[in-house]
Amino acid sequence: MDDIFTHAPKLPKDFHDRVYEVVCQIPFGKVTTYGHIAQALGLRSSARMVGYALNAVTDRVKIPCHRVLNRNGELTGKMHFETPTLMRELLEGEGVEFQGDAVNLRKHLWIPPMPDDDMRLF
């Protein structure tokens, strides 16, 4: 008798896992926005869901959450780091420049490529 799972359809990756895959692609010294990640996953209006996924990260060493900002380049996720200044310190350590409290997006913005069908959620 066949195992019932032998022919089961392959389930798509969890939304959080897909967000983490995109975040791990952000180059050193570059940043992206919650909205750009959502758009790359085919969920253009789900920037907030991306934020929720990043808030759930427990290993911030492997997943560079500090490279994800709001659409204005502001560090809206800074309260989820050990100290309120750590996110900025990590970015400045990568050579990311600020204009006041916001990252210079003209110089440091990285836009994730549109993924293949395996990565898109919809």
3-state secondary structure 14-37: CHHHHHHHHHCCCCCCCEEEHHHH
Catalytic residues: 65
Distance CA 89, CA 113 (A): 27
b/e per residue, 67-103, with b = 16+ CB within 10 A? bbbbeebebbbbebbeeeeebbebbeeeebeeeeeeb
